[in-house]
């Protein structure tokens, strides 16, 4: 394998937050809890490198777990377009 074809797994980098695909039931509970629709959620492209490995379909919701020195751990949600 040459240097040009070598792939880097950036998901293991400590700067990349954890990305999870929500199940249908989890997604419905989230929308109900925050009283929002899919159209109101921030978007993320289906070919985004951080979610490619999740095999997410359009309309799926991704839960992103972020760490902050001031806020601690918090969650961010995006819908796949």
pLDDT 10s digits, 16-57: 899 999 999 999 999 999 999 999 999 999 999 888 889 899
Domain annotation covers residue 20:
yes
Domain annotation covers residue 50:
yes
Pairing state of beta strands 72-80 and 61-68? antiparallel
Domain annotation covers residue 65:
yes
How far, in Å, CA of 73 to CA of 6, rounded?
33
Domain annotation covers residue 60:
yes
CATH code where residue 58 lies? 3.90.940.20
Domain annotation covers residue 37:
yes
Nearest partner of 39 among 49, 50, 31, 47, judged by Cα: 31
Is the pTM value of this prediction over 0.75? Answer: yes
Question: Percentages helix, strand, coil for the chain, rounded to the nearest 5?
Answer: 25, 30, 45
Domain count, the chain: 1
Q: Is 70 exceeded by the pLDDT of residue 6?
A: no
Range of the domain at 33: 16-80
């Amino acid at each position: 394998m040459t240097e040009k074809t070598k792939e880097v797994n950036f998901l293991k980098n400590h700067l990349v937050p954890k990305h999870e695909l929500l199940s249908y039931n989890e997604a419905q509970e989230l929308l109900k809890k925050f009283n929002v629709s899919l159209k109101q959620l921030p978007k993320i492209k289906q070919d985004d490198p951080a979610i490619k490995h999740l095999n997410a379909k359009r309309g799926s919701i991704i839960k992103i777990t972020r760490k902050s020195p001031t806020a601690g751990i918090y969650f961010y949600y995006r819908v796949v377009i």
